[in-house]
Amino acid sequence: MKRFSQSLFKNAGTVVVLATVLLASACKKDASNTVAPVGSGSSNNLQTNAIGVSGPKGVCYVEVNNNDIRNVGKYKLSTGQQLFDIGIIFAANINYNTSTQQAVLYFNPQVTNVLSNKATYIQPLQAKGIKVLLSILGNHQGAGISNFPSQAAAQAFAQQLSDAVTTYGLDGIDFDDEYADYGTNGTGQPNSSSFVYLVTALRQLMPNKIISFYFYGPASSRLSYNGVTVGSKVNYSWNAIYGSYSVPNVPGLAKSNLGPAAIDIQSTSSSTAASLATQTVNNSYGIYLYYNLPNTDVHTYLSSVSNALYGKATTYTP
């Protein structure tokens, strides 16, 4: 499987709900780091322009419970361009309010620190041309992206996400359908409309931001409803099984918007990582996914990937 630190998102203290702050800023859009609106099919190919060289975009998840998101900006190609195009804060959660029976966006203390100090953690990456997304996944409370009971419920959660993007100056949202524990607290099981309703509402709220999908969980088999496809609303999707090569089946996304190769920097061998990079280039796919970037210097390992992707080594600046 993939993540092993989901339990770190459980907080013994009180749930931090930032709805008041978020709603207060909902009417003010952040104009920086915007991207082209999504259309359908191959027109979803956003140019993040971080690397500035020909080849797949690098997308990197950082477990901010243990590691610094700013590490994403410390790696460059030998010719000076940033290695990573997109850095993803892993992760915010979907909690469940049993009183109101509603999904609630929740940030644990580590995520709260990153978001609340955006001038320290987020804006320096954006200044380098790197897009910063917030990953969203379940928290063992029964609420997830696949079981909203109504379109209105999906729209309400989409509003929370859009407000967070605006408040913290983010470049978009990444969806990860894990750890929801559907059925807990009397919640419903995954349904066919939920994820489609959610991404449709979020795209309307964020026409110029990135929406991506980590291809995993119940949502991965519920990508169309009432003639609307998830692929027409999201910009990217990537493989969720580290150390493997598997093309996400998301109708509506072109090869340039898909990432079949996925690695865990701390557990996938450099030879496997290089092989997956070579396959990505040979098959003309547009994304290469990295997970678990540590605080230590791993530029030698990353060079095995960048040499295959771009013909250039990776350098590290502390």
As annotated, the active-site residues are 178
Which position has the token pair 């320290």?
120
CA distance 206 to 317: 34
Q: Cα dist. 57→51, 62, 245, 256, 272 in Å?
A: 8, 16, 16, 9, 18
Backbone angles phi, psi at 92, to 5 degrees: -90, 170
Instruction: Please state the length of the chain.
Output: 318
Helical residues (DSSP H) of 169-269, grouped into ranges: 194-205
How many angstroms separate the CA atoms of 287 and 221, rounded? Answer: 21
Q: In 10 A of CB 230, how many CB atoms?
A: 25
Rounded CA separation 59/43 (Å) = 19
Q: Which residues contact 316 (CB under 8 A, 6 or more apart)?
A: 74, 75, 297, 298, 299
Give the C-alpha separation, 249 to 231, whole Å: 9
Task: Say how many C-beta atoms besides its own lie within 10 A of residue 127's C-beta.
Answer: 11
